[in-house]
Amino acid sequence: MKRIIPMIIIVSLVFISCVPKSYITKDIDKVGITTEALPWVLEFPDFGCKLVMENVRHDGKAAYVLFTTLKPYWNISFFIEPALKCKDPKSCRDFSVNANYPIRNALVGMDDYPECSTAAYMNLPTDQKQVNTKHVYAHFVREGYWIDMHISKGNFEESDQAFFENVFLNVNFRQKVRK
């Protein structure tokens, strides 16, 4: 019995060290996301983001990372995967728009920018209440990877629009320094 417990601990540590992970970095004014497999670090403005969830696929080539803020309440998430179904931001956005989104969301706009293409949705009212949540999906493609960034805000007001744009227009990709 005395030999089994140390063996279990050793096996557990070896297993944990083999699981790919994302790397979240925070500077004074920006947050960075990467994995061992990605050749770059995705950076975006930090406005008080708190990490809520991160999941990385076993090979490190796909990841989901979710952040939130408390005041005001925003959600920002990133889904990163190999760009197998599209080749540029516009084709990724169009692929996503044509996929089956929940019927409760109404497409309210699509735009194209130099680095990304976006689709904006508003939640449709339900029988119980008016839901005024805006969702913006900004699609990026970088070195064979599709980045689907989702920003949402409940109780959306037109004055919130500038914040959406500030976040996705200030995403940048910094090459990793390989050792």
Amino acid making up residue 63: A
Phi, psi of 8 (to 5 degrees): -60, -45
pLDDT values of the chain reduced to their tens digit, one per residue, 179 residues: 555 554 444 433 333 344 455 588 888 889 999 998 999 999 999 888 899 999 999 898 999 999 998 767 889 999 999 999 899 999 999 999 988 655 567 889 999 999 999 999 988 766 666 678 899 999 999 999 999 999 999 888 888 888 888 889 999 999 988 66
Q: 25: which strand partners? A: 32
Look at the block and give the residue holding tokens 């699509």.
110
Residue keyed to tokens 């900004």: 138
**In 3D, which of 61, 112, 70, 68 has the Cα closest to residue 91?**
112
Q: Chain centroid to CA 113: how far?
A: 18
From the number of C-beta atoms within 10 Å of its C-beta (0-12, 13-18, 19+), residue 25 rates as: exposed
3-state SS string for 108-157: EEEEECCCCEEEEEEECCCCCCCCCCEEEEEEEEECCEEEEEEEEECCCC
pTM (predicted TM-score): 0.82
Structural domains in the chain, sorted by start: 4-175 (3.40.1000)
